[in-house]
Chains A and B, each alone.
Chain A
Amino acid sequence: MLEGAGSSISYARVTPLAKNYVSTIALALIPRAVALNLAIGAIVAALKLPVYLDSIGTVLVAALAGPLAGILTGVTSNLVLGMLSSPTFIAFIPVTAVIGASAGVASRVGAFRTVPRAIAAGIMIGLLAGAASVPIVLALFGGVTAGGTGILTIILRSLDLPLGSAALISSMSVDVLDKVLSCVIVAAVLARLPRRLGARFGLPHPAA
């Protein structure tokens, strides 16, 4: 597996799996990223912060290994959360798939190379995630979930906004804040990652 390359060590591209789109190293990273989503999500909830940060592992994998790896991370995260925490997370699998896919596409266009680009990517991912969650919230929860987003929806309903619009605006507002923060953190981490490790994912180093 190891090949000498001048003064530095480089690695041959690992065997592609999952229909030739996801490498072994990406598959090895995904379970750790899923666990990171759960661990950071639990800590943020314990610290009573107004964000979730429970997609930070998904965004990291998508930034390093592309949209399919991002989708796999998001889907696996909510499946595991559904098994370990509450089955309601299973209903939101499409939302986490959208987050993984959009973060992977954003990475392909260099969205994690600078902080301003990461902020723009976070806004885009947050808007898409918010839009994806609204049909689920309307169909299964009657338009409001018990939590910060639900309180925002109720406040917007008190201003005579239709239920769909109130749910959409509250979901997008919360998701944009959360995903901007996640993307900025991922960009900062990628900038500190050894260049050799980024190259192992078969992509140009996102911070290069």
Chain B
Amino acid sequence: MIARLGGINPLTALALAVLLVVGTYVVPAPSGPLAALALAVSLAAMAGVARRVIILAAAVSIPTWIFLAVMNAIVAPEGEVVRVGGFDVAPGALVPAAWISLRLGAAVAALGWVVMTTPPQRLVRALARRGLPAWSQYLLAASLAAVPEARRRAREVLDAQRSRGLAVGGGPVARLRATLALAGPLMVSLVTEAERRALALDARAFDARGARTSLTEVADSNGERTVRTVMWGLTVVLIVWGLVR
């Protein structure tokens, strides 16, 4: 089953994630978000990433619930108030806060499952096959590839500035000054590098209008296409139902 999930077209996984997110927000709580969360976690379990997906969803939904509970039940109590330890507390506000957090957690789990099981480059290739323009393919793929390099260069510049006596500790002002000393050289270097890359792109006929081929193809069976069409249709039905309800 793990191999089966890993082999599905990324667009099918994306369509399912969007359907789950829409279902989470359109179908009333708690049944809608609970069903979406259960399905997302089940899919994550089949792909072997259930623990990571649960942690990701909990990292968003639990702090949100705590902040909402503090605000709506204690700081600015909404609804019927009871006296607890010298404070006015509105216990009724805890339930709506739980539903908001549950919806958020379910949406994060639905998208998180796709993000964790789909290599971004595979998603870009699948989108390219469905007609994504070359320039937007480049933007997504090159941005994803540039992140580790930028983090490495940021560390290098920070080390170079430290070796010149820059202090990165101390109060907020000292730390901010350290960040500014880091940002300047990084920004100048990226603009300089962009010029070289633009010349390289032009030299490789980046703006050519002909059809392009890919070294690797992402499988997309007729069955998956049908399932995807049904899922997009269900998503539209849910949105319309949510609007007219």
Contact = CB atoms under 8 A, between A and B. Distances in A.
B179 A14 contact: no
Nearest to B63: A146
B111 interface: yes
Interface in A1-56: 1, 14-15, 17-18, 22-25, 27-36, 38-40, 42-44, 47-51, 53, 56
B191 A144 contact: no
A47 B206 contact: no
A40 B179 contact: yes
A113 to B, nearest CB: 17
A31 B96 contact: no
Contacts, number: 197
Interface stretch (A93-101, A102-110, A120-128, A152-160): A152-160
A90 B178 CA distance: 30
Interface residues of B, number: 68
B190 A33 contact: yes
Interface string A79-93: 110111011101000
Contact of A50 (B68, B72, B172): B172
17 contacts: A17-B207, A23-B198, A29-B190, A38-B151, A39-B151, A57-B190, A60-B187, A83-B144, A84-B120, A86-B56, A87-B107, A87-B112, A88-B108, A145-B64, A146-B63, A146-B66, A157-B76
Interface of B: 56, 59-60, 63-64, 66-68, 70-72, 75-76, 96-97, 100, 103-104, 107-108, 111-112, 115, 120, 133, 135-136, 138-140, 142-147, 149-151, 153-154, 158, 168, 172, 175-176, 178-180, 182-184, 186-188, 190-195, 197-199, 201-202, 206-207
